[in-house]
Structure 1
Amino acid sequence: MTARPGPRMRANRAGASGYAAGLSLVVLALTGAVGLALKQPWLFPSLGPTVMLFFESPENEASRPKNALVGHAVGLVAGAACFYALGLSGQPSAPDGGLTVSYVVAGTLSVAITTLVLTLLKTPHPPAGATTLIVSLGILTQPPQLLAMAGAIVLVTLAGWALNTLLLGRER
């Protein structure tokens, strides 16, 4: 199948902007609705840049579904590993209790690990850096929250891939 030009490559800037904004709205609203129904945090900050990549730059390597899934998975694991290894469980999150040396170490180390692994695997996905900070800074750390984050990442990625494939005729 021949891929049609992505929205960035189209001459009509308003059409490309509407495509990206509209589909970002749809996918994040769907994710938020699932979160409301399950009473779990299915809408969190790093999903915004992910959907923006999917719909603003679908041709970009970082926009590939594999990159999003691997990137956020590595971010979740690295963030949780640093959070728990530094004994931050039971402490108020960095935004609530203030930034401490332990949170600085957890945050910086987890992003460095995420960057290292994604670079070695050749699967760039910059929003994964936000995912690792959300976890390593204690914002979302409980197992049900981490599972909700993983579910939301899968939903957003599948919806983004499906919509781009359906509307742009591309498979990645």
Structure 2
Amino acid sequence: MTVRDDLNVRDDLSAGINVVLHFAFLGGIAWATGRPFLFPSLGPSAYLLATGEQPRAEGAYHVVGGHAIAAVCGLATYVVFADGLLVTDAFTRAGSFSPAVGRLVVSSIVAMVLTTVGMLWSDTNHAAACATTLIVALGLMSTPLDTGIIVVSVALLVVFHGKIVEPLQDRYGVEPQDAR
């Protein structure tokens, strides 16, 4: 068995602990409120925050801004093209060339285009936000309340990282040194 040259056990364990802290915090809020403060696109965002500075991917402006743009673009396209549809139901019931699936496809395509252009124009480039726009455009979290929860959850993630996780890393000397 060979050890990779880029293996850094200290950094990797620190990043793993950081992710635990991030998701325990948001999971506690989700559990206490019964609201979806955890959703799939938070995973990549938490990973980027936990593993260290990565240009154009980390930081409050990129993370919160990217998800906010994505949530709004996803909601706008969902309301225009696929209102009332849910991707899991549409594919379960659909046959070939289903109008419902077609509407969700159009909603997703337009949401991705708007999100991509919006993030590029605002320089909020955060790739994980592209998953957010699809979550919303496909009907999984497609109410104004859900959209607000997405933005608040991401903002809480970033604030928690900056106010709790980073000071703990500094105090115990475990901040990842090699962003990967």
Pairing 1:160–2:154 present:
no
Say which of 83, 89, 95 aligns to 1:89: 83
Structure 2 counterpart of 1:142, which letter?
T
Contact persistence 2:21–2:165 (CA under 8 A): no
Distance in 1 (alpha carbons) for counterparts of 2:31 and 2:164: 23
| 1:151 Cα deviation after fit | 1.8
Are the equivalent residues in 1 in contact too, given 2:104–2:137 (CA < 8 A)?
yes
Matched with 1:147 is 148
1:30 counterpart = 2:43: no
Shift of 1:136: 0.2
What is the correspondence of 1:7-46 to structure 2 with a 5 Å cutoff? Answer: 13-46=8-41
How do 1:10-159 residues align onto structure 2 when only pairs under 5 Å count? Answer: 13-86=8-81, 88-91=82-85, 93-98=86-91, 100-159=101-160
Q: Check whether the contact 1:50–1:127 (CA below 8 A) recurs between aligned residues.
A: yes
Q: Give the number of the structure whose alpha-carbon radius of gyration is greater.
A: 2
**TM-score, normalised via structure 1 length:** 0.84
Task: Tell me the amino acid that sits aligned with residue 111 of structure 1.
Answer: M
- Cα distance between partner residues in 1 of 2:101 and 2:29: 34
| Structure 2: gaps spanning 5 or more residues | 1-5, 92-99, 176-180
Matched length:
158
> Which one is further off, 159-168 or 98-107?
159-168
Identity between Structure 1 and Structure 2 (%): 25
Give per-residue Cα distances to partners, 1:71-94, cap 9 Å, x unaligned: 0000000000000011x2222x11
Cα RMSD over matched residues? 2.0
Secondary structure of the structure 2 residue equivalent to 1:61: coil
Tell me how far apart the structure 1 counterparts of residues 87 and 37 of structure 2 sit (CA, whole Å): 21
Structure 1 unaligned segments of length 5 or more: list them. Answer: 1-10
Contact between 2:111 and 2:137, CA under 8 Å: does it hold in 1?
yes
